[in-house]
Amino acid sequence: MIEDMYIVMQRVAELKERFGLKRHNVKVEPESNFEQELFNLDRIKNRELLSAAKDPAEYTKDDINRIADHYARKNKIPEALVRSMISVESSYNPLAVSPKGAMGLMQIMPVVAGEMNVDDPFSPEQNVEAGTGYFKKLLNYYDEDYTKALAAYNAGMSTVDRAGGVPNINETKRYIDKVISTYLENSKR
């Protein structure tokens, strides 16, 4: 019952934000005991999700999808898209490291890990939280243009800005195509 109310309250907050009924950059404290309980429930859920930490190599694809779905919803990104990014970036390997130094499931670079306050880039929870948070920042920066945001996630913002859009880099073009095609496959399920 409380979880259902939590979902309804979360949806109301999303609608308020979408239609400009919520002031940005203002810390909102719960106004009632009920809202306080929902606020505490959210904090408890996040703590439980993070406290279930285990060795990254022990995570199953289902574990990773659960984490991905949580942070996708939190950042208002399609769940299937986050799963697709993980699949393309690391093939669901939490210990993946690229030749350029990108780490973990969402292949976050050390600079992004620092920016997003990541202590352990190989922790699936921290990595996916940082990767989805960073991708959300890119979506906001590029006015919800998913193609530009994906290009920037792969090649960097400065490269996309210099090119005025998707740069003429074969690796980046292939990356975008793979993520989108995987996303379309995942969306059918």
In whole angstroms, give the CA distance from residue 64 to residue 50.
12
Contact between 57 and 95 under an 8 Å Cβ cutoff? The reply is yes
Task: Tell me which residue has tokens 């690796």.
Answer: 171
Give pLDDT, residue 171. 96
Chain segment 24-51, per-residue pLDDT in tens? 443 444 445 555 555 445 544 554 554 4
CA angle 36, 130, 117 (to 5 degrees): 85
Question: Number of helices and strands (H, E) in the chain?
Answer: 9, 0
- As a whole number, the mean pLDDT across the chain is 84
Bridge partners, residue 108, by sequence: 103
Give pLDDT, residue 57. 87
- Average pLDDT (69-98) is 97
Active site residue ranges: 89
- pLDDT band at residue 145 using 50, 70 and 90 as cut-offs: very high
Domain-by-domain residue ranges, the chain?
1-51, 60-188
Q: pTM above the 0.75 mark? A: no
Which of the pair, 23 or 5, is modelled with greater confidence?
5
- In Å, how far from its chain's centre is CA 77? 7
Give pLDDT, residue 35. 52
The rounded percent of the chain whose pLDDT value lies above 90 is 67
Chain segment 119-131, per-residue pLDDT in tens? 999 999 999 999 9
CB-based contacts of 5, cutoff 8 Å, min separation 6: 34, 38
Question: What is the CATH number that goes with domain 60-188?
Answer: 1.10.530.10
Contact between 110 and 120 under an 8 Å Cβ cutoff? The reply is no
